Amino acid sequence: MASHSIPSGSKTTHLKKTILSGGNFHDKYDVLIKFYSAQNLPKKCIAGHIDPYFVADIDHQISFTSTILSNTLNPIWNDEEWIVRNVPSTAKLTVKIYDKEDGKLADSYIGRVVITDLINYDPSLKGYKIIGPFNQYNGRFHLSIQSKKVSKETKQLCEYAYDGPCRYSRHDCIAVGRLTMINTDCLYPTWKIQMKRISHFFPPNARQYWSRQYQSARTIFGDYPLSIVLQAGIKLAHRTLFRKTLTHNDTGQLKSADDLWKFLLFDKATKKIRPCVYTYIIDDNTWRFSETGNQFFTDFASKHAILANCSEYILYGGQFHPRPKYGWNRLNDEWELVFDNVSGTYAPNGDLLVNLKALLLFNFPGLNIVTYNYKDPKLKQSLEDVRLAAEKFKYSTETLENTPVIINNLF
């Protein structure tokens, strides 16, 4: 077992109705896993290379999916590290390596590496053997593992708590983009962000289940023959919108609030902050969102049930939109994000908006955040303002390129 300093970055946060406690943490560890590379992966044919990626999991409780690297038998992954808190001393790590196959229903399985004793693992300078589906040798995989006993702070988290880094992926869907026409590239983007310590801010007793008072939700999740068909269609739509492919994807890490604006909220083509409204959900592991609107296909693609992959519950959800902090006539000044709990399908509890804000500030310190309950008249006015700004944005030649996003330190 190697001891080292794992960054925590914690601040004391007072949450509403969601204090998480308990558990036997006498034999738990905080773990940092770094994934480096693979060597001598098998060719698909005599001259062919592959497009490898891997999926790691600890005890089938928490998983990590790498970026896809194109056309290589010796992939080298950069910045692929994984911090997990409160891991049992008996934990097992499994890493499965795949070849991405965009044109097929499933990706090709290359092999796996199993480390049965994660905490007291035996480092291998030569790397770990990748064992193929027929127990054949399929190359070597390189990683390192560091661990230490849980601290007084981290033992307050749940088992297998994800604690970084904050990773994002964006998929640009061509098929849906041609239907929604929200940009000149005819692409419909969806975003997925792995956020730290979601379970601390929204533990299991804070789950928001689908609303029995909402007819559309009853139709989707009820015990009707039509429900089975609808659920299958929603899950297919989710896979289409969020799948990882060799093209039309972007991945990376978000290390600050500035990165959130730069990589996710600036329009790729215009390099401007587009006035628009997004729907979002927070699930057990991620923050997912996509642009919404009144046009039929845009509205459908951004449904909360689709974002949640037809899950019966989410941890939170609603809509959010960017706006200039001091009004739409001051576009070169500070910007902020306005979050609400507008979702008919899940009807999130407005009291938990404070938890949402705390989660976002923990992951993106300094981010300007405003929260409104769906009944607040200020929300209605803000949405009307962003709608008017969006209309002007379509026809305006005013440039927002290199707009300075000024971040105030809110801690």
Domain boundaries of the chain, sorted by first residue: 28-162, 167-395
The β-bridge relationship of strands 167-173 and 137-149 is unpaired
Question: Rounded to whole angstroms, how far apart are CA atoms 71 and 51?
Answer: 5
Q: Between 373 and 392, name the one with better pLDDT.
A: 373
Query: Contact 282/308 with Cβ under 8 angstroms?
Result: no
Tell me what pLDDT residue 266 has: 85
Is a pLDDT exceeding 50 seen at residue 19? no
The β-bridge relationship of strands 81-88 and 28-39 is antiparallel
Q: How far from 287 is each of 77, 190, 191, 196, CA to CA, in Å?
A: 24, 11, 8, 10
Our measurement of the distance from residue 317's CA atom to the centroid of its chain's CA atoms, rounded to an integer in Å, reads 14
Rama region for 390: left / alpha / beta (φ>0; ψ in -120 to 50; rest) = alpha
The 3-state DSSP class for residue 209 equals strand
Percent of the chain with pLDDT over 90: 68
What is the enclosing helix (H) or strand (E) of 251? strand 249-253
350 C-beta neighbours (distance < 10 Å), count: 16
Tell the CATH superfamily of the 28-162 domain.
C2 domain (2.60.40.150)
Strand partners, 141: 38, 128
Phi, psi of 219 (to 5 degrees): -65, -40
Question: Rounded to whole angstroms, how far apart are CA atoms 237 and 191?
Answer: 14
Question: Rounded to whole angstroms, how far apart are CA atoms 302 and 214?
Answer: 18
DSSP summary character for residue 242: H
In our burial notation (b when 16+ CB lie closer than 10 A, e otherwise), range 202-220 reads bbeebbbebbeebeebeeb
pTM of the model: 0.86
Read off the pLDDT of each residue in 289-297 and give the average, rounded to a whole number: 89
Whether omega for the bond prior to residue 189 falls within 30 degrees of 0, making it cis, is no
Strand partners, 287: 193, 282
Torsion sign, CA atoms 315, 319, 320, 326: negative
Tokens of 26: 């006498």
Query: Contact 270/396 with Cβ under 8 angstroms?
Result: no
Query: Contact 16/354 with Cβ under 8 angstroms?
Result: yes
Query: Contact 42/132 with Cβ under 8 angstroms?
Result: yes
Place of tokens 């056309």: 71
Place of tokens 């006035």: 275
Tell me what pLDDT residue 204 has: 84
Is a pLDDT exceeding 90 seen at residue 56? yes
Our measurement of the distance from residue 145's CA atom to the centroid of its chain's CA atoms, rounded to an integer in Å, reads 24
DSSP summary character for residue 266: B
Tell me what pLDDT residue 3 has: 33
Q: Give residue 395's pLDDT band: very low, low, confident or very high (50, 70, 90).
A: low
Q: Between 176 and 60, name the one with better pLDDT.
A: 60
Read off the pLDDT of each residue in 342-346 and give the average, rounded to a whole number: 97
Question: Rounded to whole angstroms, how far apart are CA atoms 317 and 199?
Answer: 15
Closest CA to 3 of 109, 172, 120, 142: 120
Is a pLDDT exceeding 90 seen at residue 268? no
Mean pLDDT of the chain: 87
**pLDDT digit string, tens, across residues 231-250:** 999 999 999 899 888 888 88
Most confident residue range from 3-17, 70-84, 354-368, 388-402: 354-368
- Least confident span in 25-29, 70-74, 89-93, 209-213: 25-29
The β-bridge relationship of strands 188-194 and 81-88 is unpaired
- Least confident span in 44-58, 175-189, 227-241, 271-285: 175-189
Tell me what pLDDT residue 84 has: 97
Tell me what pLDDT residue 11 has: 38
Our measurement of the distance from residue 204's CA atom to the centroid of its chain's CA atoms, rounded to an integer in Å, reads 18
**pLDDT digit string, tens, across residues 106-152:** 899 999 999 999 999 888 889 999 999 999 999 999 999 999 999 98
